[in-house]
Amino acid sequence: MKPTIKDIAQRANVSTATVSRILSNKKQSYRPKTATKVKAIAKELGYKKNLAAAELAAHSSKLIAVILNNTQTNFADDIIAAIQAATDQAGYQMFILYAGNHDSRLLNQAISVALERHVAGILLVATTLDKEAAHTLQESNTPCRLISVYDEADPRYTGFKFTSSNNEEIGYLATNYLIERGHSRIGLAGIDRSSTGKQRLHGYQRAMTEHGLIPRMDWVEYGDYSFGPQQNMLKTLMNKELDAIITASDMVAVGMIKEAHLLDLDIPKDLSFISIDGTFLCDITIPTITSVTQDFYQMGTIAVRGLLNDEDSQFIPVHITPRNSVRILTTKSLEH
Amino acid sequence: MKPTIKDIAQRANVSTATVSRILSNKKQSYRPKTATKVKAIAKELGYKKNLAAAELAAHSSKLIAVILNNTQTNFADDIIAAIQAATDQAGYQMFILYAGNHDSRLLNQAISVALERHVAGILLVATTLDKEAAHTLQESNTPCRLISVYDEADPRYTGFKFTSSNNEEIGYLATNYLIERGHSRIGLAGIDRSSTGKQRLHGYQRAMTEHGLIPRMDWVEYGDYSFGPQQNMLKTLMNKELDAIITASDMVAVGMIKEAHLLDLDIPKDLSFISIDGTFLCDITIPTITSVTQDFYQMGTIAVRGLLNDEDSQFIPVHITPRNSVRILTTKSLEH
């Protein structure tokens, strides 16, 4: 028969409440000598504590909940791998809850499940917060951190610290890279209308304006970063006689390039592409895809550290990875 | 202040134990009238039960744990999406725990975390079971089901029901498809040495033998289904003067095709490929990749139903999706 707290209490001649406090490592009134004795007896009897009960007693646990928006993209793979490694190293166990595809019900359900398990912290990856979710999280006093999403202009997000790439910088760098190579009719494909999309659009607009080019909203095609809906998107953008397209994710890029081949376009001769993300997908298409590369693994690692130590918000540096999808029309700007 | 079970008990003039039993829906001795009264008061006071406590009381929960082997492949995406949808529809909440890359410590840790939360069931996706894990799961009396992994010859697996494609059939179908198109020097790339790899190898060997061809072990290159290590693999197989290669996953296929382009091979003129999985990756390469396609979404849906209703083990049908990576050397066999 499995030994219980009662067995330990009888043997140690203390109350079950004392045993419970000691085995939960609660800092409360008991003598160190008693603690040593109780722990020795627990070990001797082979007592294995019921963790759910222990968590309830301690009102905390060694669990980290990762709440993930499950749009069909692949950028989160390395973030998750890094969170797994970093939480494991810090002595925590992570588990993942899906928040659907910007589904308010599933998001709030996931938050409830996490809070009910008295998790030590919550990481929200690329999640669109609604008012209810933001409120519940802040009321809970549970440490939270956003990953790959932030919005300093939106009250739903301002209460949370984040670890992310700088989306405005991403949009700026991608656009600037194309302009420096002689492109001026530059489209932006697949961004969404939420914070991330807006920030990347701002970066695009800033780079265009700085170079005396007029950013045009009819060169922007909205999407959700996923593979699939690129067929009409490419045709629509081709009708605008663009030189180059910035894709909002690698999934959008591979979708666009697939469609470009079906339309017999020669890339980058007829049309240049630069993608945002820089995952392995950029290496498997023909041509390979130049990208603004995000360091997702680093992002996951730093986010766990940030959560556990309550560090300030962090931007993880991004960089351009030149591959073969951008045609050099002129190197004039580069020769300045 | 948050209302407690004690508040409800005082108001209803019953014991806290009775309130607890009623609110946990435990089928025990209390009068229906009392239950109605207690529930009404709980609602009136805005009582929100602590789920972890309720789970402990009921010794069950509405949680389904999904334990996932996190090799860097993409086949599990649709399985997870389907599990999420099916568990949600059935009124359960799923959460994912990572078992590392065939990491015994992480696997057993994940199983512990799941069992300690009194989950209603555990789904193990493509997980390599060790003796300890198999034993813990069977001792727990918690409903379990394997997804995309099974082994009727291995005692670690025989105690568990599964939902999977038939790996022997997959190997057979892929090989047969190539032989029927005139190929005879057929390699097999990227399978592992575990159950899944062995089963696919058996199917390959059966098809070769049935057609009077000798399956050769030096035409088999082992791997782990992931993208990356294909450089030497392709060179090694090219030295054997093969007509065609079966890749163990789409990730292996895109890796091989990338390397083939670097070696200036014309696919399928110089070398044919057929892949196992049939995810979107088969559509984004040049040429597109013919595949033995697994229905991962269906697999996830059926697995949840199987877990909740304790159904027998199930094979999910697979089919060939012809694309452009297989050269037709002769249609002789097809004309029979």
A236-258, pLDDT tens digit by residue?
A: 898 999 999 999 999 999 999 98
The pairing of beta strand A319-321 with beta strand A291-293: antiparallel
Give the position of tokens 């509405």: B62
Q: Can you give the pLDDT at residue A244?
A: 97
Is a pLDDT exceeding 90 seen at residue B205?
yes
* Confidence category of residue B335, pLDDT binned at 50, 70, 90: very low
Does the domain at B167-295+319-335 match CATH 3.40.228.10? Answer given as no
Cα–chain center distance at B74: 11
Rounded Cα distance between B81 and B64, Å, is 14
The residue that leads in pLDDT, A20 or A198, is A198
Which site among B71, B93, B281 would you substitute to test the A interface, given the most A Cβ atoms closer than 10 Å to its Cβ? B93
Q: Looking at chain B, which residue has its C-alpha nearest residue A117?
A: B52
**Is the Cβ pair A84, B98 closer than 8 Å?**
yes
Secondary-structure class of domain A167-294+318-335 per CATH: alpha beta
pLDDT score recorded for residue B154: 93
Confidence of residue A1 (pLDDT cuts 50, 70, 90): low
Query: Where does residue A253 rank: exposed (0-12), middle (13-18), buried (19+ CB within 10 A)?
Result: buried
Does the pLDDT value for residue A334 go beyond 60? Answer: no
When pLDDT is cut at 50, 70 and 90, the band that residue A89 belongs to is very high
A20-34, A46-60, B315-329: which is most confident: B315-329
Q: pLDDT over 90 for what percent of chain A?
A: 66
Q: How confident is the model at residue A5 (pLDDT cuts 50, 70, 90)?
A: confident
* Chain A residues near residue B117 by CB distance under 8 angstroms: 51-52, 117
Beta strands A186-191; A244-247: pairing state: parallel
Q: Is B117 on the interface with A (CB under 8 A)?
A: yes
Residues of B within 8 A of A55 (CB-CB) are 52
What pLDDT digit, counting tens, does each position of A96-140 carry?
Answer: 999 988 889 999 999 999 998 889 999 999 998 999 999 999 999
Q: Report chain A residues whose CB lies below 8 A from the CB of B56.
A: 50, 52-53, 56
A334 in contact with B at a CB cutoff of 8 Å?
no
Band of residue A90 on the pLDDT scale cut at 50, 70, 90: very high
Q: Is A72 within 8 Å of B77 when comparing Cβ atoms?
A: yes
| Chain B: residue whose CA lies nearest to A48 | B116
% of chain A surpassing 70 pLDDT: 90
Chain B interface, best mutation among A55, A93, A108, A283, by max B CB count within 10 A: A93
pLDDT tens, residue by residue, B121-141:
999 999 989 999 999 999 998
Predicted pLDDT at A61: 79
Question: A70–B81: do the CB atoms touch at under 8 Å?
Answer: yes
Radius of gyration of chain B (CA): 26
Helix (H, G, I), strand (E, B) or coil at B18: helix
pLDDT at B336: 44
Inform me whether the pLDDT recorded for A46 exceeds 80.
no
Mean pLDDT of A73-93: 92
Q: What is the pLDDT of residue B50?
A: 52
Nearest of B60, B63, B312, B325 to residue B164 by alpha carbon: B312
Identify the CA nearest to B248 among candidates B329, B167, B183. B167
Q: Give the C-alpha distances (Å, rounded to integers) separating B74 from A252, B41, B78, B252.
A: 17, 50, 9, 11
pLDDT for B334: 53
A4 in contact with B, Cβ within 8 Å: no
Higher pLDDT, B59 or B203: B203
Q: What is the 3-state secondary structure (H, E, C) of chain A?
A: CCCCHHHHHHHHCCCHHHHHHHHCCCCCCCCHHHHHHHHHHHHHHCCCCCHHHHHHHHCCCCEEEEEECCCCCCCHHHHHHHHHHHHHHCCCEEEEEECCCCCHHHHHHHHHHHHHCCCCEEEEECCCCCHHHHHHHHHHCCCEEEECCCCCCCHHHHCCCEEECCHHHHHHHHHHHHHHCCCCCEEEEEECCCHHHHHHHHHHHHHHHHCCCCCCHHHEEECCCCCCCHHHHHHHHHCCCCCEEEECCHHHHHHHHHHHHHCCCCCCCCCEEEEEECCHHHHCCCCCCCEEECCHHHHHHHHHHHHHHCCCCEECCCEEECCCCCCCCCCCHHHC
Residue B55 has pLDDT above 90, yes or no: no
Residue A173's Cβ-side half-sphere holds a number of Cα atoms within 13 Å equal to: 21
Q: What average pLDDT score do residues B48-59 get?
A: 51
CA distances in angstroms from B119 to A34, A56, B132, listed in the order given: 35, 17, 19
Give the H/E segment covering residue B288: none
Does residue B49 carry a pLDDT above 70?
no
Asked if the domains B5-57 and B167-295+319-335 are classified in one and the same CATH topology, the answer is no
Return the higher-pLDDT residue of A216 and B48: A216
Chain A's closest residue to B254, CA to CA, is: A284
CB A225 within 8 A of CB A188: no
Å from B261 to nearest chain A CA? 9
Interface of B with A in 45-74 (CB under 8 A): 50-53, 55-56, 63, 70, 72, 74
What pLDDT, on a 0 to 100 scale, did the predictor assign at position B300? 98
Q: Which residues of B304-314 are buried (b: 16+ CB within 10 A; e: fewer)?
A: bebbbeeeeeb
Q: Tell me the nearest-neighbour CA distance from A266 into chain B, angstroms.
A: 13
Look up residue B84 and give its two tokens: 């999420």
Question: Greater confidence, A273 or B47?
Answer: A273
Cα separation, B308 vs B94, in Å, equals 13
| Packing angle of the helix pair A16-23, A51-58 (nearest 10 deg) | 90
Interface size between A and B, measured as CB pairs under 8 A: 96
Contact in structure between A98 and A128 (CB atoms under 8 Å): no
DSSP letter at B312?
P
Q: What's the rounded Cα separation, in Å, for the pair A329 and A182?
A: 5
> What is residue B28's predicted lDDT score, i.e. its pLDDT?
56
Of the candidates A253, A258, A204, A260, the residue with the CA atom closest to the CA atom of residue A225: A253
Out of A35-44, A47-56, B149-158, which region has the weakest mean confidence (pLDDT)?
A47-56
Helices and strands of chain B, counted as H and E runs: 14, 12
Min CA distance, B127 vs chain A (Å)? 16
Q: What ranges do the domains of chain B cover?
A: 5-57, 63-164, 167-295+319-335
Query: Which of A4, A56, A284 should one mutate to test binding to chain B, selecting the residue with the greatest count of B CBs within 10 A?
Result: A284
How close does chain B come to A33, measured CA to CA in Å?
Answer: 30
Predicted pLDDT of residue A56: 46
SS3 B65: strand
Q: Quick one: pLDDT band at residue B57, thresholds 50, 70, 90?
A: very low
- The verdict on domain B63-164 having CATH code 2.120.10.30 is no
On the question of pLDDT at A332 being above 60, the answer is no
Which of chain A's residues have a Cβ under 8 Å away from the Cβ of B285?
284-286
Read off the pLDDT of each residue in A20-30 and give the average, rounded to a whole number: 66
Letter string b/e over residues A33-44, b meaning 16 or more CB atoms within 10 A of that residue's CB: ebbebbbebbee
pLDDT averaged over every residue in chain A: 88
Option in A70, A116, A283 nearest B50 (CB): A116
Using the structure block, give the residue that is written with the tokens 């999904």: B66
Contact B285 A285 (CB under 8 A): yes
CA dist B259 and B268 (Å) reads: 14
Collapse the DSSP code of B108 into the 3-class scheme (helix H, G, I; strand E, B; otherwise coil) and give the result.
Answer: helix
- Which residues make Cβ contacts (< 8 Å) with residue B174, sequence separation at least 6? B203, B204, B246, B274, B276, B292
Q: What is the DSSP letter of B29?
A: S
Strand partners, A329: none
Domain B5-57 has CATH 1.10.260.40: yes
The answer, for A105 touching chain B at a CB cutoff of 8 Å, is no
**Is the backbone peptide bond immediately before B287 cis, with ω within 30 degrees of 0?**
yes
CB nearest to A70's CB, from B63, B70, B84: B84
- Does B30 score more than 90 pLDDT? no
Amino acid at A32: P
**With 70 as the cut, is the pLDDT of residue A65 above it?**
yes
What is the reported pLDDT for B26? 58
Chain B CB contacts of A63 below 8 Å: 113
The answer to whether A80 and A96 are in contact (CB under 8 A) is yes
Identify which of B53, B98, B261 has the shortest CB distance to residue A286.
B261
Pairwise CB contact (< 8 Å): A56 & B50: yes
- pLDDT of A86 > 80? The answer is yes
Report the pLDDT averaged over residues B279-285. 92
Q: Do A280 and B55 touch (CB under 8 A)?
A: no
- A70 and B80 in contact by Cβ < 8 A? yes
- Quick check: A98 and B84 CB within 8 A? yes
> Could you say which of B53, B56, B95 has the minimum Cβ distance to residue A95?
B95
Q: How far apart are CA B130 and CA B173, in angstroms?
A: 30
Chain B hits for A70, CB-CB cut-off 8 Å, are 80-81, 84
pLDDT at site B27: 56
A256 touches chain B (CB under 8 A): no
Instruction: Note the pLDDT of residue A57.
Output: 47
pLDDT score, position A2:
60
Q: Does A262 touch chain B (CB under 8 A)?
A: no
HSE-up (13 A, CA, CB side) for residue B177: 26
What's the length of chain A?
A: 336
Q: At what angle do helices A32-45 and A5-12 cross, to 10 degrees?
A: 130
Q: Check A52 against B56: CB less than 8 A apart.
A: yes
Identify which of B293, B258, B299 has the alpha carbon closest to the alpha carbon of residue B274: B293
Q: How far is CA B78 from CA A281, A305, B3, B161, B283, in A?
A: 18, 31, 42, 21, 16
CA proximity to B145, closest of B297, B298, B302, B293: B302
pLDDT of residue B45: 77
